[in-house]
Amino acid sequence: MQAGSQAGRLRDSPVAPGTGGNPASRLGEEPAWYRPPVAEARELLRRLPKIDDLLRRDEAQGLTAPRWAVLEALRGEVEALRQGILSGGSAQVEVDWAGVRRRAEELARPSLRRVINATGVVLHTNLGRAPVAPAALEEAVAIARGYSNLEYEVAEGRRGSRHAHLEAVLRDLTGAEAAAVVNNNAAAVMLCLSALAGGREVVVSRGELIEIGGSFRIPDVMRLSGARLVEVGTTNKTHAADYERAIGPDTALLLKVHRSNFHMVGFTAEVELGELVALGRARGVPTMMDLGSGCLLPPAEVAALGLPAEPDVRGAVASGVDLVSFSGDKLLGGPQAGVIAGRAAAVALAKKHPLMRAVRPDKLTILSNGHVDSAERALEYGSR
């Protein structure tokens, strides 16, 4: 009778595959495949502590992490206990407070942390792009602690423009008639296309339809701007005649894009910016150059440093192009920013476009970039 009762209890337990249902496997240490009976698991689940009760415990009250982090850590701990019971791997219902403390502190730690850049790439997008100059940070912190004249003309007692804080230094740096700052160069390109060519055609060489980081492509940016892409030339060769044949009544802009992240060599040809500007003026069509990163040093100084040639901003502006866009942070050592420079009338259209409000710079971007108060200081910092 006693043996029969034992066998009956064993029949209610799960049977491991490949054991032949041998009851002896339950008499010693439980094998890895064992799952507790449903009734036992239910009892363990009922004994799991409630989150509200745990928050009132002295152990929780003694944690220094923020309440949201403690709450999330406790939820994770109780869920881990629940999964352990359901899988049959554990019968534990007591909270591991040391583990909760570690998890809460980890959650509360800022996710954006300082790292060492050992990649060999100085301006690494994934590692925060350009370091911000210490002097710029100090000035930004000092002003950001309180209120500022971000969009207020103190002397006149009226509303002002946030673009006025940086325009003078950008004109000095680039030689342009006017300039504006947005939050990155992709935003600068999209804003300029929207303002000058929304709903109309933009002519671009097929060899310049680039893809930048994060799989963002020039055709995608153009489509979002509302402009219509007109491709000319071939992948490896584009001539001035290709642009000229593409110009029609609905052409709003001739766009040239610098291939900053790859090179084409061999049987290639492209139209220089000056030639494209001359064509645009002859046909009454504005022109734009997307430099991507670009360079503020003159070509001769770049060559003297032993660096590969890179189109310079001043040279592009001097060509007479209506608009030039480039990444301000990569050239000035400030926070991420995009710069639009060029003819006053074209820049004014960009400033007045509704999209500007969505991509305009905040006060910290202006504060950090605005510390560079002359072209000489900017170039000195950029050449280090």
CATH of the domain at 337: 3.40.640.10
Residue 11 pLDDT: 38
190 & 336 share domain: yes
17 & 148 share domain: no
Please count the structural domains in the chain. 2
Decide which of 300 and 36 is more confident: 300
pLDDT band for 14, please (50, 70, 90 cuts): very low
Mean per-residue pLDDT, 34-47: 78
Distances (CA, A) of 87 to 13, 23, 33, 51: 15, 21, 10, 22
Residue of 225, 207, 192, 173 whose CA lies nearest to 322:
192
194 & 328 share domain: yes
Residue 69 pLDDT: 96
Q: Is 115 part of any domain?
A: no
Tens digit of pLDDT for each residue in 333-374?
778 899 999 999 999 999 999 999 999 998 888 887 665 544
pLDDT band for 295, please (50, 70, 90 cuts): confident
Place of tokens 């995608």: 220
207 & 286 share domain: yes
255 & 343 share domain: yes
Phi (first) and psi of residue 98, to 5 degrees:
-65, -40
Tens digit of pLDDT for each residue in 189-211?
999 999 999 999 999 999 988 88
Residue 325's domain spans which residues?
132-382
Tens digit of pLDDT for each residue in 165-176?
999 989 999 999
246 & 312 share domain: yes
Dist CA 92 CA 81 (whole Å)? 7
Helix 164-174 crosses helix 375-382 at what angle (to 10 degrees)? 70
Residue of 92, 102, 39 whose CA lies nearest to 69:
102
89 & 214 share domain: no
H or E stretch covering 341: strand 338-342
Tens digit of pLDDT for each residue in 242-283?
999 999 999 999 999 998 777 788 898 999 999 999 999 999
Q: Is 114 part of any domain?
A: no
Residue of 292, 216, 296, 229 whose CA lies nearest to 259:
292
Residue 334 pLDDT: 77
Q: Is 91 part of any domain?
A: yes
pLDDT band for 17, please (50, 70, 90 cuts): very low
Residue 292 pLDDT: 86
Q: Is 354 part of any domain?
A: yes
What residues does 324 pair with on adjacent strands?
289, 341
In sign, the C-alpha dihedral spanning 187, 190, 194, 196 is: positive
Distances (CA, A) of 165 to 133, 145, 162, 340, 368: 18, 18, 6, 14, 11
pLDDT band for 76, please (50, 70, 90 cuts): very high
Say what the pTM is: 0.76
80 & 182 share domain: no
183 & 232 share domain: yes
81 & 180 share domain: no
Q: Is 217 part of any domain?
A: yes
Dist CA 191 CA 8 (whole Å)? 78
Q: Is 70 part of any domain?
A: yes
Q: Is 91 exposed, middle or buried (0-12, 13-18, 19+ CB in 10 A)?
A: middle
216 & 267 share domain: yes
176 & 291 share domain: yes
Q: Is 313 part of any domain?
A: yes
Q: Is 118 part of any domain?
A: no
Tens digit of pLDDT for each residue in 107-165?
999 888 899 999 998 888 889 888 888 888 888 888 889 999 999 999 999 999 999 99
Mean per-residue pLDDT, 95-113: 94
pLDDT band for 32, please (50, 70, 90 cuts): low
Dist CA 171 CA 11 (whole Å)? 87
